[in-house]
């Protein structure tokens, strides 16, 4: 399989999707923000100086998804039907797991919108806790699953490991 955003001469190009069928497309992405126990307690107890970390991160993720084509040079603007971003506290890490689902009826996939939503939500969590933990880590931002389009359905074969296989 060749790269779709590179032409025969090796130059970057936007893919022509004009002849592709319009189908319902769904993409789910996830990521993790690991943090200190003190920062985790602030998030859990909603006592961060900047406000409710999880709610702000979820809204920021939705806003980020809507800006994907402005941020990623060769992405097509996709009319989003729906974007949801959810956050989950994970005391064992300690940290926050973020999941974003993007849905569209379009000619091209929306994996990037889901990935941008997770990334912006994770960056927002970091921004809101950095005063308590500058060493917080954003990890494992990845596509979990996608459906629709020519290539059909795909699911990531491995569970989330915020340490990336490394010990903390």
Contacts of 19 (CB under 8 A, 6+ apart): none
127 labelled catalytic: yes
Rounded-to-integer distance, Cα 61 and Cα 163, Å? 22
**What does each C-alpha distance from 29 to 42, 77, 115 come to in angstroms?**
25, 19, 5
Cβ proximity of 82 and 103 under 8 Å: yes
Catalytic residue, chosen from 127, 133, 153, 161, is: 127
Helix (H) or strand (E) holding 129: helix 111-129
- For residues 129 and 106, is the Cβ–Cβ distance under 8 A? no
Q: In the chain, where do the E strands start and end?
A: 23-34, 80-90, 95-106, 137-147, 154-155
Residues with active-site annotation: 127
């Amino acid at each position: 399989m060749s790269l779709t955003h590179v032409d025969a001469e090796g130059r970057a190009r936007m893919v022509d999707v004009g002849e592709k069928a319009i189908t319902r497309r769904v993409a789910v992405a996830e990521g993790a923000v690991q943090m200190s126990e003190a920062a985790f307690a602030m998030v859990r107890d909603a006592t961060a100086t900047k406000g409710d970390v999880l709610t702000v991160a979820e809204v920021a993720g939705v806003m980020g998804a809507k800006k994907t084509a402005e941020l990623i040079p060769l992405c097509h603007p996709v009319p989003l039907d729906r974007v949801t971003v959810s956050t989950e506290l994970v005391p064992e890490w300690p940290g926050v797991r973020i999941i974003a689902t993007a849905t569209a009826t379009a000619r091209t996939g929306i994996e990037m919108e889901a990935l941008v939503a997770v990334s912006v939500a994770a960056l927002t969590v970091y921004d809101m806790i950095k005063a308590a933990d500058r060493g917080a880590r954003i990890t494992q931002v990845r596509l979990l699953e996608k459906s629709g389009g020519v290539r059909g359905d795909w699911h990531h074969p491995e569970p989330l490991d915020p340490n990336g296989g490394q010990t903390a």
